[in-house]
Homo-oligomer: A and B are copies of this chain.
Amino acid sequence: MAEEQRDPNTIYVGKKPVMNYVLACLTQVQNGNGAVTVKARGMAISRAVDVAQIITKRFATDITVKRISINTEQVKSMVTGGMSNVSSIEIVLQK
């Protein structure tokens, strides 16, 4: 997702193992302003929810889900070159 702005407070969830993102989020909450935004698109949405749940239920019960929003983004298809819609999720975690 190189076209998106790289906010250090935002973790983009993709195809890596879930624990990579969990660690990245925990590090960000500790070093940053106590909040982190988890974003994902398409099939990675399930993984983003996993990340949020693992953090709030297992590792850091003092961190809570503050806000969840869903949206639709337009992405250029790698195959056809046309535009297609893809769902996205944004989960804000806060200490």
Contact = CB atoms under 8 A, between A and B. Distances in A.
A24 interface: no
Contacts of A46: 42-46, 87
Nearest to A91: B70
**Assembly of this chain: how many copies?**
2
A68 B88 CA distance: 13
Contact of A70 (B42, B52, B69, B72): B52
Interface string A43-61: 1111001101100010000
Interface string A68-89: 1111100000000000010111
A88 B57 CA distance: 13
A87 to B, nearest CB: 4
